[in-house]
Amino acid sequence: MADVEVDDAFLRTPTLPTRRLRLRPVVAGDADAIYDLLSDAHVLRYWDEPPWTDRTSATRFVERSDALARSGSGVRLVVERRQDGRFLGWLSLAGWNPDFRSASLGFVYTEESWGRGHATEAARALLEWGFATWDLNRVQAEADTRNVACGRVLEKLGFVREGTLREDCVVNGVVSDSWVYGLLRRDVEASSSIAKSSQ
């Protein structure tokens, strides 16, 4: 199990250290790095909204991250490299439904971090925390069907591809399909994909 430090200023939002990474609450000082990430057309080519063109979007992102935590409906975390604090991206567990014991996983990473296992390492730590802290039964994730790398990350984490949402997104006039993935508590308990320590 990863050590969990809860930051009281952000209520339910944890700080999660892994072997190479540190996951922590989004703060105002992250705005420039978040803007650079979410204004990169190449990074967002499979995302469900166009790249940002207005820097105030980053300020609103920080505010929404705080509101998400304070409402108790989810957490959004910055992912940084432990050795030097370099910003690598962000991930979230959102849409927490305590009645259904469900939530949704999402993430975006800088191109320099691709192919290094950072997305898998960070998501494993957050999922481990979510299943333990929120008593989750199901986590859902969606990926553009062209985003094979994202699908591979989800499958490494134990997610099962459950179906395809046909033409569910239209971004800048481009129509795309999405895969739907699910990870169940019984899947987690039957395998070591999340239970294995991320330390």
Percent of the chain with pLDDT over 90: 79
What pTM value is reported for the model?
Answer: 0.88
**pLDDT score of 193:** 52
Q: What is the mean pLDDT of residues 137-164?
A: 97
Per-residue pLDDT reduced to its tens digit, 10-45 = 346 899 999 999 999 999 999 999 999 999 999 999
What's the gap between Cα 100 and its chain centre? 20
**pLDDT score of 13:** 85
Domain contains 195 = no
Domain contains 196 = no
Per-residue pLDDT reduced to its tens digit, 45-59 = 999 899 999 999 999
Domain contains 199 = no
Domain contains 15 = yes
CATH code of the domain containing 74: 3.40.630.30
Segment (H or E) for 164: strand 160-171
Domain contains 100 = yes
Quickly state the pLDDT bin for 5 (edges 50, 70, 90).
very low
Per-residue pLDDT reduced to its tens digit, 92-139 = 999 999 999 999 999 999 999 999 999 999 999 999 999 999 999 999
Based on the structure, what is the number of domains in the chain? 1
54, 15, 62: which is closest to 34 by C-alpha? 62
**CA dist., res. 65 & res. 75, Å (int):** 7
- Domain hosting 44: range is 5-190
pLDDT mean across residues, the chain: 90
Segment (H or E) for 174: strand 174-184
Domain contains 119 = yes
